[in-house]
Amino acid sequence: MRLFRSDELLGIARETLEFVLEASEETHPNEYMGFLRADDARKL
């Protein structure tokens, strides 16, 4: 089993995305991070 296989990735925890957004804003305030579609994981 490979560590990262895109066909097996279902989602990223909301807290993880919030952390990444905050960190990118602090370190690169003049840049932006693309937003991913948010779906409730229970619906997948």
pLDDT attached to residue 16: 85
* pLDDT tens-digit readout, 4-38: 555 666 677 888 888 887 887 777 766 655 555 66
8, 15, 26, 31: the catalytic one is 31
Domain ranges of the chain: 6-43
pLDDT attached to residue 42: 74
DSSP per-residue letters across the chain: --S--GGG-----HHHHHHHHHHHHHH-TTS--PPPP---GGG-
Mean pLDDT of the region 38-42: 69
Give the global pTM.
Answer: 0.43
Q: Is 22 a catalytic residue?
A: no
Cα separation, 1 vs 29, whole angstroms: 38
